[in-house]
Structure 1
Amino acid sequence: MHIALAQIVSTPDPWHNLRLVEERAAEAAAAGARLVVFPEATMCCFGSDLAAAAEPLDGRWAGAVRRIAADAGVTVVAGMFTPADDGRVRNTLLATGNGVEAAYDKIHLYDAFGFAESESVEAGREPVMFEVDGFTVGLTTCYDIRFPGLFQALAEHGATLIVTAASWGSGPRKREQWDLLIRARALDSTSFVAACGQGDPTTVGLPPGTLPTGIGASAVVGPLGQLLHQLDGRPGVLLADLNLPEADAARASVAVLANRKW
């Protein structure tokens, strides 16, 4: 499968960000991509009024992403925010295009490093997968990368490619953790991992400390933990050809899914 990771720096304006989605999806499609992955919070950056921006999956913003995917002839994965019943929002990944229509609500909320995402976000409950060209793709979001059980559950249900959309906060050792975690999750699920993060806002002229504090470093990792491709901190499109049956070979060779006890 030919895929693209579209590393962008979102703004507080959903309609400005939608233009980025349109431009990058068209660029990826012209290069032959079948799946185009955008970061968490593509709709609007963290630090914005998420409740005000949130729209249902049948709202205008999601509808526009569907149109973009249809026009480009690709499947698009993009982070957005949808309303929850209690005044909070859900941190949602929309997957749409080429017969795909799926949505994943982030399960593991970022109640860590002195921040409580659960105060404003309602957690999802179920893993979500979809198919592109006959291959099963699993969805995960940012902090999910610290929880191998979710990745193993997706692999156990047939996913050979697992997407991680992130807005990975900068800080001491955070880049080291990102690089380690994306490779570890690929290795302990024997899956390809395509991890697309928000770019570093300083690379587009924003001052240090600007939200979202993305680091970039979007990457594709093979099922034996090998780093295949990686971007730096700047916005850009990473293109990769993945031989997804290699995941089956990895599972036959390193049978961690079959051998695990818990």
Structure 2
Amino acid sequence: MPENTLRIAVAQSTVREDPTDATALRDSGAEVRRLMQQAADAGARLVHFTEGAICFPSKRVMSELGPDEIGPSDWSKAEWAVLQDELDRIAALSRELGIWTVIPSVHQLPTPSRPHNSMYVVSDQGKVVTRYDERTLSTTKITWMYAPGKEPVTFEVDGYRFGLALGLDVLFPELFTEYDRLDVDGVLVSYSTAGVSGHEHIEVQARGTAVNNTYWISLAVPANPDGGLESGLIDPRGKLVAAGPADKTPGIAVTDLHHAEVTTVGREFRSRTRERISS
């Protein structure tokens, strides 16, 4: 692999929706670690997972009035100790494999605060180096389930800078323009299609975002036969260069990122033009 490239893997994994089910959490964690091993075997330095990779809590499962009536989530029902143990195992394997892992999960806050819907960045030393909290929560999430995040987050691997986006963030171009101004080489987008069909437009938006900002996009989605999407890697010209299994089964897609000249040229042009039209 050339010195100036970074091999990245994006995972397409099973999403389960009941955080009160310890067995399901264990199954999700085991699948995540299996895909991490596949990514490492393929030579990846970083592996990126979907929203809900360990669990995408259902509003009906969590409702204190449910499951027939949606109400405030009762997070005391969640198997927090099991969830944390699975995250610890993922971190330990990152260290063992020498691979960076971006793994979305629910981030618990002290009672009575609601948790965040988050993405953890685990280094190749097995340490959580940063965390991103979803900012553009859906109506259900903001009304009944989560506290929103407040700021963009970036991190660097081997000279490449990445931004993070989660859930409905993918629908808001201004968040990606913000990452353009933060000089990222790419944005890792985790988006769940759990329980809903017909998400083909999300790939269209992700590809448009990549070309509009001339940086890489990694789009991680579930292994959902009805979702209309595969996980994939999109280059700065908006081309899908690698995709997960087309039959929507669990697997990974891998490609080598490089510092594209189009990114630098495009960013300089956008910066000059924004300065001119705002003066």
TM-score (norm 1): 0.84
- 1:107 maps to what in 2? 135
Q: Give the Cα–Cα distance (whole angstroms) in 2 for the partners of residues 142 and 60 of structure 1.
A: 24
- 1:178 maps to what in 2? 202
**Which deviates more, 148-157 or 59-68?**
59-68
**Contact map agreement 1:152 1:257 (CA 8 A) in 2:** no
**Contact map agreement 2:184 2:215 (CA 8 A) in 1:** yes
Measure how far apart 1:62 and its partner are. Answer: 2.6
Q: Give the Cα–Cα distance (whole angstroms) in 2 for the partners of residues 67 and 215 of structure 1.
A: 33
Q: For structure 1, which runs of at least 5 residues remain unmatched after alignment? A: 203-212
- 1:218 maps to what in 2? 231
**Number of residue-to-residue matches in the alignment:** 242
**Contact map agreement 2:236 2:262 (CA 8 A) in 1:** no
Measure how far apart 1:80 and its partner are. Answer: 0.4
Identity over aligned pairs, percent: 23
**Which deviates more, 8-17 or 65-74?**
8-17
Measure how far apart 1:75 and its partner are. Answer: 0.2
1:54-65 equivalences in 2 (<5 Å) = 55=80, 59-65=84-90
2:48 equivalent among 37, 54, 61: 37
1:230-241 equivalences in 2 (<5 Å) = 230-231=243-244, 232=246, 233-241=248-256
Measure how far apart 1:215 and its partner are. Answer: 4.1
Partner SS for 2:185: strand
2:107 equivalent among 76, 82, 107: 82
TM-score (norm 2): 0.79
Measure how far apart 1:55 and its partner are. Answer: 4.5
- 1:91 maps to what in 2? 117
AA aligned to 1:44 is C
In the alignment, does 2:175 pair up with 1:147?
Answer: no
- 2:68 maps to what in 1? none
Q: Give the Cα–Cα distance (whole angstroms) in 1 for the partners of residues 124 and 249 of structure 2.
A: 29
Q: For structure 2, which runs of at least 5 residues remain unmatched after alignment? A: 1-5, 19-23, 63-72
Change (3 A) 1:84 1:220: same
Q: Give the Cα–Cα distance (whole angstroms) in 2 for the partners of residues 27 and 222 of structure 1.
A: 22
In the alignment, does 2:20 pair up with 1:8?
Answer: no
Partner SS for 2:135: coil
Q: Give the Cα–Cα distance (whole angstroms) in 1 for the partners of residues 41 and 176 of structure 2.
A: 31
Task: Report which of the two has the higher share of strand.
Answer: 1
| Higher radius of gyration, 1 or 2 | 2
Measure how far apart 1:29 and its partner are. Answer: 0.3
1:53 equivalent among 67, 72, 78: 78
**Which deviates more, 24-33 or 62-71?**
62-71
- 2:69 maps to what in 1? none
Measure how far apart 1:146 and its partner are. Answer: 0.8
Partner SS for 1:186: helix
